[in-house]
């Protein structure tokens, strides 16, 4: 059990490094549409004028809770705005530390899940299939479902899907390869 948990921590650390590769380097620019400085500044000023009063959160624009909002929503344009009224550094150390903790915890969860079948599924190929298929199932639903249900385009969501699928798969493969009981051991 201790070996499996250690594997989960290593898998989580690998997830963290993969996440950094996808999101902490210029590679992340592939995920986002881009605006020129003028329109970006104007949009930021508009957000500050209209959303600062209600504060940090996620907003659907236009609001759909009224008849008028539903009509406006149907006409477009529409947006989901993830808004932080105070801002933060582009490379926020606190987020990096919290992200590492989350990755380690997720790696341990993967290890615990694989550990429950480790004694029955003893060959690496079968363990690898389990790890990759669970990673695929979770990321297909949670990330690729977003552009299907919300019509916001595919580029960001496909990039997010790839980054999360690779990270979760690698963590699962690390655990499956080196940190589960060997065949015949209980």
The per-residue pLDDT for range 31-80, each reduced to its tens digit, is: 999 999 999 999 999 999 988 778 899 999 998 889 999 999 999 999 99
The per-residue pLDDT for range 122-139, each reduced to its tens digit, is: 999 999 999 999 999 999
Percent of the chain with pLDDT over 90: 79
Residues 6+ apart with CB under 8 A from 182: 122
- pLDDT of res. 140: 97
Secondary structure of residue 104 in the 3-state scheme = helix
The per-residue pLDDT for range 43-52, each reduced to its tens digit, is: 999 999 988 7
Q: Tell me if 134 sits within 8 A of 106, measured CB to CB.
A: no
Q: Tell me if 19 sits within 8 A of 103, measured CB to CB.
A: yes
Q: Tell me if 64 sits within 8 A of 70, measured CB to CB.
A: yes
User: What are the boundaries of each domain within the chain?
Assistant: 2-24+91-178
């Amino acid at each position: 059990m201790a070996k499996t948990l250690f594997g989960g921590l290593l898998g989580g650390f690998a997830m963290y490094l993969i996440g950094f590769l996808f999101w902490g380097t210029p590679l992340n620019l592939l995920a986002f549409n881009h605006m020129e400085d003028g329109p970006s500044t104007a949009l930021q000023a508009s957000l500050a004028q209209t959303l600062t009063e209600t504060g940090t959160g996620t907003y659907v624009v236009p609001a759909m809770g009224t008849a008028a909002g539903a009509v406006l929503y149907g006409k477009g344009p529409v947006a989901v705005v993830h808004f932080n009224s105070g801002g933060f550094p582009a490379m926020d150390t606190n987020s990096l530390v919290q992200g590492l903790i989350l990755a380690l915890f997720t790696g341990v969860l993967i290890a615990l899940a694989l550990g429950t079948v480790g004694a029955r599924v003893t060959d690496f190929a079968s363990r690898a299939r389990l790890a990759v298929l669970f990673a695929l199932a979770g990321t297909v639903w949670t990330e690729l479902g977003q552009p299907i249900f919300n019509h916001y385009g595919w580029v960001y969501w496909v990039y997010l899907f790839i980054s999360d699928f690779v990270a979760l798969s690698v963590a699962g493969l690390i655990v499956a390869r080196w940190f589960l009981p060997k065949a015949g051991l209980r």
